[in-house]
Amino acid sequence: MAASPISVVLFTLIWGVVGIVLPFLVPRGPNRGILQAILMLTAATCWLFWVCCYMAQMNPLIGPKVSTHTLLLMAREWGSAVDI
What is the DSSP track for 27-50?
PPSTTHHHHHHHHHHHHHHHHHHH
Q: Does residue 83 form part of some domain?
A: no
Q: Does residue 23 form part of some domain?
A: yes
Domain tally for the chain?
Answer: 1
Q: Does residue 37 form part of some domain?
A: yes
Residue type at 16?
A: G
Mean pLDDT of the chain: 90
Q: What pLDDT does residue 84 have?
A: 65
Per-block mean pLDDT, blocks of 10 residues, the chain (84 long): 84 96 96 97 97 87 84 86 71
Distance between CA atoms of 46 and 37, rounded to whole angstroms? 14
What range defines the domain where residue 62 resides? 5-78
Q: Does residue 22 form part of some domain?
A: yes
Question: Residue 58 — φ and ψ, nearest 5°?
Answer: -75, -35
Is residue 69 within 8 Å of 76, Cβ to Cβ?
no
Q: Does residue 84 form part of some domain?
A: no
Q: Does residue 16 form part of some domain?
A: yes
Distance between CA atoms of 81 and 76, rounded to whole angstroms? 8
